[in-house]
Structure 1
Amino acid sequence: MEKDYREKIKKLLALAESPNEHEAKAALLKAKELMAEHKLSELDVKDVGKKEVKEVLLEGMQASTRHNPWIIPLSTVIGENYCCKAFNNKYSGKQLRTIGFVGFEEDVQICEQVFRYAVNCVESKLKEIKKENGCYSAQYRKKLCDGYGYGFMVGAQEAFEKQKKENEEKGWGLVMVTPQEVTEHIKDFKHENFNKNAGSKLDANAFGIGYTDGKKFDPTKKLEA
């Protein structure tokens, strides 16, 4: 039985290299599900020598203290729960930081999909908030938007913690831990404090709404669809 599942996972990982984007994504997600369920890692089904730690900067995913500061901690939450590590790159003279992930290639692909989906969920709500509060000052609207964004991040973090506990009870927990190779790769990266006080002046009501929405965040339904 174990051999059968290994063969299935190998085939799915091979299919994940398909030029058909939707087919590739579906194969990757199913492979991850089987690996977790049957306590297997990609190291068990692929040649170790072929696995490389990748650094990937995400096009269009940027943040600063003034522009969507909640994106930075959200990337950390997503990365830690998808076997990757988040980082951000700031070019000299620029305020915006570009978000990136470090991890094995297949993990980074899935991590990026989940992160972009999470950001889209938040930004969709922020459009509503800005529209509903168009008569108020830009400063007040930013307070509302940042409150929602940070609230969503905290709620999503709790949702992942709950999921992690459930997986551990099933015996799947260790499979989804960030590989040691990834942790070693990123340990020498320069880490800067980002917007320490960003969460100190937020709208409490908007934070609460974001927190509730974040706790409901379930990327698997969207990605599998």
Structure 2
Amino acid sequence: MTEDQRNKLIERIKRLLALSKSPNEHEAAAAMSKAQELMRELSITEEDLELTDFATVRTDTLLVKSGHRLPRYVSYMSYLMKTAFGVECIFSDGQRNKEIIFVGTKSKTEICVYTWTVLARILKTKAAEYKFSITHLRCSPGKKAALAEEYCEGWVWGVWENIVPETVSQREHELTKKLINTKFNIKTADMRGSGASGAEANDAYSQGMQTGKNTRLHQGMQADKRGALSETRYLGRA
């Protein structure tokens, strides 16, 4: 049996299980009997069927090199995504760059890649604008880079404060965790802070937070047949 044939049977089982809730007793019984027959044939359980609605999707948009420590603001962004969408986020080393992997329902993970990409693009632009704004400071390029990272940390928390948390059911949480335990060997990410300190660092963080609070981020809500997001909604508080 090919993977495509198996997937078609799984979809048929789902339809039969839905039909098994029919008020027509004979129709419901026949649907349940056929669903159970197909489940035995495929050696799958009801939980296996539930997991087919979950997925893992990855992106390396932030371009953090593999093997390098993860900037703290990137970790903060993962908390933001978890809060906004109710997904789990895992970091992994890709062939060239670090990747973030979103784990959750298929609809949520697909939308997460879009939102993460937009978020990263905005942050990259804001960080560049901040760096330009501090060209007058008499400090080394390394310190300016550290201040820019401090700005990024503030920016992400500013956006995070404006997010409306997603409510996740206990069952969805359990299935997400099971998928992670099945597919990944989780290790603690090696993170680093900006390295900046003092009044200038505090000022950079404050500027970033204020700009983040004013950011109007929209999340993708619906994809067309080609995978392009055709609808968005404002992701934040009114």
Give TM class, smaller chain: 0.5 to 0.7
Give the number of the structure whose residues are more often strand, by fraction: 2
User: Which of 205, 208, 220 is matched with 1:207 structurally?
Assistant: 205
- The one-letter code sitting in structure 1 at the alignment partner of 2:193 is A
What residue is the counterpart of 2:178 in the other structure?
Answer: 184
The aligned runs of 1:10-159 (5 Å cut-off) are 51-63=52-64, 69-91=72-94, 96-134=97-135, 136-159=139-162
Indicate if the aligned counterparts of 1:147 and 1:207 stay in contact, CA closer than 8 A: yes
Task: Give me the whole-angstrom Cα distance separating, in 2, the residues matched to 1:111 and 1:63.
Answer: 18
Task: Give me the whole-angstrom Cα distance separating, in 2, the residues matched to 1:69 and 1:109.
Answer: 24
CA offsets per residue over residues 172-218 of structure 1, 9 Å max, x none?
Answer: x45699632112222453122422x4156351111111112223343
CA offsets per residue over residues 148-190 of structure 1, 9 Å max, x none?
Answer: 1111222222222xx33xx8xxxxx456996321122224531
Is the alpha carbon distance of 1:194 and 1:73 closer, same or farther for their aligned partners in structure 2, counting shifts above 3 Å?
farther
Is the alpha carbon distance of 1:103 and 1:62 closer, same or farther for their aligned partners in structure 2, counting shifts above 3 Å?
farther
Task: Give me the whole-angstrom Cα distance separating, in 1, the residues matched to 2:146 and 2:216.
Answer: 26
Is the alpha carbon distance of 1:97 and 1:179 closer, same or farther for their aligned partners in structure 2, counting shifts above 3 Å?
same
- The one-letter code sitting in structure 1 at the alignment partner of 2:161 is E
Is the alpha carbon distance of 1:178 and 1:76 closer, same or farther for their aligned partners in structure 2, counting shifts above 3 Å?
farther
Indicate if the aligned counterparts of 2:57 and 2:110 stay in contact, CA closer than 8 A: no
Give the number of the structure whose residues are more often helix, by fraction: 1
Is the alpha carbon distance of 1:68 and 1:123 closer, same or farther for their aligned partners in structure 2, counting shifts above 3 Å?
farther
TM, length-normalised to structure 2: 0.57
Task: Give me the whole-angstrom Cα distance separating, in 2, the residues matched to 1:221 and 1:151.
Answer: 21
Residue 190 (structure 2) pairs with residue 194 (structure 1): yes
What residue is the counterpart of 2:42 in the other structure?
Answer: none
Task: Give me the whole-angstrom Cα distance separating, in 2, the residues matched to 1:78 and 1:100.
Answer: 11
Task: Give me the whole-angstrom Cα distance separating, in 2, the residues matched to 1:179 and 1:139.
Answer: 42
- The one-letter code sitting in structure 1 at the alignment partner of 2:57 is V
What residue is the counterpart of 1:38 in the other structure?
Answer: none
TM, length-normalised to structure 1: 0.60
| RCO higher in structure (CA 8 A, sep ≥6) | 1
Larger Rg: 2
Residue segments in structure 1 that go unaligned for 5+ positions in a row: 1-47, 168-172
Task: Give me the whole-angstrom Cα distance separating, in 2, the residues matched to 1:50 and 1:69.
Answer: 32
SS in 1 for 2:61: strand
- The one-letter code sitting in structure 2 at the alignment partner of 1:219 is L
User: Which of 215, 218, 223 is matched with 1:220 structurally?
Assistant: 218
Task: Give me the whole-angstrom Cα distance separating, in 2, the residues matched to 1:151 and 1:140.
Answer: 17
Residue segments in structure 2 that go unaligned for 5+ positions in a row: 1-48, 221-231
Task: Give me the whole-angstrom Cα distance separating, in 2, the residues matched to 1:194 and 1:174.
Answer: 28
Task: Give me the whole-angstrom Cα distance separating, in 2, the residues matched to 1:115 and 1:50.
Answer: 24
Alignment RMSD (CA, Å):
3.3
